[in-house]
Structure 1
Amino acid sequence: MLDFIGTTVLVAAIIFSINALTGAMPINSSQRIALSIGAGLWTGLAAALSGANLLLGSNPIGPPTIGTVITLPLIAAAVAAWISPSVRATLLGMPMPFLIGLNVWRVAGGFFLLLAAEGRLAGPFPTSAGWGDIITGVLALPVAWLALRGQGSALVWTWNAFGMLDLVAALAFGIMSANGSPLQIIHAGEGSEAVQVLPWSLIPTVLVPMYLIVHGIIFAKLAQNGKGVPA
Structure 2
Amino acid sequence: MIPDIFISILFTPSFSFAFFVWLIAHYTLVKHRMEGAGRISATIALTLTCWFVLVIVISKTRLFAINPLFAPNIAFGFLLLFELLRRVYSSKTIQRIAENAPIALLMGIQIYRILGISFLTLYSQNLLPAAFAIPAGWGDILVGVTAPFVAALYYFGKPYGKKLAIIWNYVGILDLIVAIGVGTLAFPRPIQFMHTTPSTELFAMFPMAIVPLFAVPLSFVLHMLCLRVLKGNGTV
Q: Calculate the TM-score normalised by the size of structure 1.
A: 0.88
Q: SS of 1:224's equivalent?
A: coil
Whether 2:8 is the aligned partner of 1:8: answer yes
CA distance in 2, matches of 1:212, 1:220: 12
What's the CA shift string for 1:162-192, capped at 9, x where partnerless? 111000000000010011233x211111121
Q: SS of 1:55's equivalent?
A: helix
- Structure 2 stretches lacking a partner, 5+ long: 30-36
The aligned residue for residue 176 of structure 2 is 167
Whether 2:58 is the aligned partner of 1:49: answer yes
CA distance in 1, matches of 2:101, 2:190: 39
Cα contact 1:179–1:190 (8 A) shared by 2 = no
CA distance in 2, matches of 1:95, 1:63: 40
CA distance in 2, matches of 1:49, 1:92: 34
RMSD (Å), alpha carbons: 2.3
- Aligned counterpart in structure 2 of residue 59 of structure 1, from 58, 67, 70: 67
**The 10-residue stretch of structure 1 (212-221 or 14-23) with the greater mean CA deviation from structure 2:** 14-23
Whether 2:193 is the aligned partner of 1:185: answer yes
Cα distance change of structure 1 residues 81 and 213 upon mapping to structure 2, 3 Å threshold? closer
- Aligned counterpart in structure 2 of residue 120 of structure 1, from 123, 127, 140: 127
Q: SS of 1:198's equivalent?
A: coil
What's the CA shift string for 1:133-170, capped at 9, x where partnerless? 00110000110100101222221111111111000000
CA distance in 2, matches of 1:87, 1:153: 22
Equivalences for 1:79-98 in 2 at 5 Å? 79-82=87-90, 84-98=91-105
Cα distance change of structure 1 residues 146 and 42 upon mapping to structure 2, 3 Å threshold? same
The aligned residue for residue 202 of structure 1 is 210
The aligned residue for residue 85 of structure 2 is 77
The aligned residue for residue 229 of structure 1 is none
Cα contact 2:116–2:138 (8 A) shared by 1 = yes
Equivalences for 1:100-115 in 2 at 5 Å? 100-115=107-122
The aligned residue for residue 33 of structure 2 is none
Cα distance change of structure 1 residues 193 and 81 upon mapping to structure 2, 3 Å threshold? closer
Q: SS of 1:187's equivalent?
A: coil
Offset, 1:62: 9.0
- Structure 1 stretches lacking a partner, 5+ long: 227-231
The aligned residue for residue 130 of structure 1 is 137
The aligned residue for residue 21 of structure 1 is 21
CA distance in 2, matches of 1:207, 1:80: 16
The aligned residue for residue 32 of structure 2 is none
CA distance in 2, matches of 1:110, 1:19: 22
CA distance in 2, matches of 1:106, 1:134: 6
Whether 2:30 is the aligned partner of 1:30: answer no
The one-letter code matched in structure 1 to 2:63 is L
Q: Calculate the TM-score normalised by the size of structure 2.
A: 0.86
CA distance in 1, matches of 2:162, 2:15: 30
CA distance in 2, matches of 1:174, 1:113: 14
**The 10-residue stretch of structure 1 (189-198 or 109-118) with the greater mean CA deviation from structure 2:** 189-198
Task: Point out 4+ residue stretches in structure 1 off by more than 6 angstroms.
Answer: none
Percent identity, aligned pairs only?
Answer: 26
Offset, 1:15: 2.2
